[in-house]
Amino acid sequence: MNIKRFHGEYSRGTEDYRMLNSYSETQSDVPFDSESSWLDKFLIAWQELISNQEFYVRRDLTKYESSNTTPEDDLGSTFNEPKLNARVRDRDSGEERALYTCNTSHGAAQFTCSVCDVTVTGIRVLQSHMGGKKHMAKLAEYQVIDHVPDIRPAASLLGELLKQFHVSPLLGLEYIVEVKLGAHEEVFKCVLCGADFDLNGILGHLISTAHRLSFLRKHFPVVAAKFSSQLPEFQWPPHTLETLDTVAGRIEAKHGRGEVTAIRGLLAWEREAPALTSNIEQMKHARETPDFNFELLPDPFRIK
Ligand SMILES: [Zn+2]
Ligand SMILES: [Zn+2]
């Protein structure tokens, strides 16, 4: 077990800071690097989960991938009609779905236009439906996403492992992209914070104050403002970290966890990063509402 690797990017910064500030250590009654020691119990649980489960989860994913090699979800290439890959987003609910679906179980391809709720037989008939006035009017009620990232999604190792990780709430999991570099190597990119991690380090990032605050600033500004402080994050008192954890837990309980996007290969990432990122940005995220915004939360820094 490589404990040093396991803190990843997260502790490197704090170590530098500790050297700069070591003279003040004796004067402060807040334990130094309180965030790191607060996070330790979760990181130990994560390390245990990896040691016990990584092998089995990888084995199952390999089986799953090899039995799912037909790229049947790419209708556009199958029928040489790029419009078939378009998706629509409901302007009110934010829900996203494929604009067209195809059923070939009766021999001839039957296409369903999901906004008109119309089923036709054959690509030619569908193409004339696409140009129709009624269809265009219906479509105007939705946001149309033309460019679907040109990648086959892969099953996520992180997503599978996290199904067994319940000791800490996780915010903004949908901002993580798992790029598969090889059979046993991935890099995890947090597109919210713009940072890269390995499997050991990603959990520490997800539960770090820095990541949680970036998520809250974006989607829960009322409570994010309560946590804005001059105090560097690693000096936050444990009760403040506990409060942040409680807030994260309540958001997770209400909205559930997001899903990790997994893709194959660094090339796919380099080609599709802008499209993937904007796709993630526009996804449905947990966000504050007038009756769910932590407005009544007392100052989390006040000494109890
Ligand atoms: Zn239609
Ligand atoms: Zn992040």
- Mean pLDDT of successive 10-residue stretches along the chain, which has 304 residues: 39 40 46 84 96 94 70 69 86 87 88 95 95 94 74 84 96 96 91 97 96 98 95 91 97 96 87 89 94 95 82
Ligand 1 center–CA 79 separation, angstroms = 18
Let me know if residue 241 belongs to a domain: yes
| Residue 198 and residue 64 share a domain | yes
Domain-ending residue, one of 121, 145, 169: 145
Residues 51 and 194 in one domain: yes
| CA–centroid distance, residue 133 to ligand 2 (Å) | 44
- CA of 203: how far to CAs of 4, 83, 126, 172, 292, in Å? 14, 38, 46, 12, 26
Ligand nearest to the CA of 134: 1
User: What is the structure's pLDDT at 65?
Assistant: 74
Q: Which ligand is nearest to the CA of 191?
A: 2
CA 274 to ligand 1 center in whole angstroms: 29
Give the pair of three-digit tokens for residue 242.
């506990």
Question: 3-class DSSP state for residue 18?
Answer: helix
Q: Counting ligands in written order, which one lies closest to the CA of residue 118? A: 1
Q: How far is the CA of 80 from the centre of ligand 1 (A)?
A: 19
- The bound ligand whose nearest atom lies closest to the alpha carbon of 209 is 2
Number of domains the chain is built from:
2
Q: Let me know whether 62 and 83 are in one domain.
A: no
Q: Are residues 79 and 219 in the same domain?
A: no
pLDDT computed for residue 147 by the predictor: 58
The confidence score (pLDDT) of residue 142 equals 92
Ion ligand 2: residues, Cβ under 5 Å: 190, 192-193, 211
Q: Residue 17's pLDDT is what? A: 39
CB 69 within 8 A of CB 274: no
Examine the domain organization and report whether 173 and 235 are in the same domain: yes
* φ/ψ (deg, to 5) at 301: -95, -10
Structural domain containing residue 51 = 3-68+152-282
Amino acid 257: pLDDT: 95
pLDDT at 152: 62
Side-chain-side CA neighbours of residue 170 (13 Å)? 25
> What's the longest Cα–Cα distance across the chain?
79
> Starting at the edge strand that comes first in sequence, how are the strands of the sheet with 87-90 ordered?
96-98, 87-90, 142-145
In this structure, are 139 and 230 located in the same domain?
A: no
How many angstroms does the Cα of residue 119 sit away from the middle of ligand 1?
9
Taking alpha carbons only, the member of 124, 122, 126, 147 closest to residue 135 is 126
Instruction: Looking at the structure, tell me whether residues 130 and 217 fall in a common domain.
Output: no
Distance CA 218, CA 283 (A): 13
Domain shared by 55 and 179, yes or no: yes
Query: Any idea which ligand is nearest the CA of 206?
Result: 2
Ligand 2 centre to CA of 280 (Å) is 13
Ligand 1 center to 72 CA (angstroms): 22
Work out the angle between the directed axes of helices 34-66 and 8-21 (0-180°, nearest 10): 160
Which one, of 141, 150, 103, lies nearest residue 122 by Cα?
103
Domain final residue pick, 145, 163, 181: 145
pLDDT number for residue 107: 82
Q: Report CA(202)–ligand 2 centroid distance (Å).
A: 9
Q: What is the pLDDT of residue 48?
A: 97
- For residue 239, the CA-to-ligand 1 centroid distance in Å is 55
CA 204 to ligand 2 center in whole angstroms:
10
Judge whether 62 lies within some domain.
Answer: yes
- pLDDT score, position 4: 39
Helix (H) or strand (E) holding 90: strand 87-90
Q: Are strands 195-197 and 185-190 parallel, antiparallel or unpaired?
A: antiparallel
pLDDT at position 85: 83
Q: Is residue 302 part of a domain?
A: no
Ligand nearest to the backbone CA of 202 = 2
Q: Which residues contact 97 (CB under 8 A, 6 or more apart)?
A: 87, 88, 114
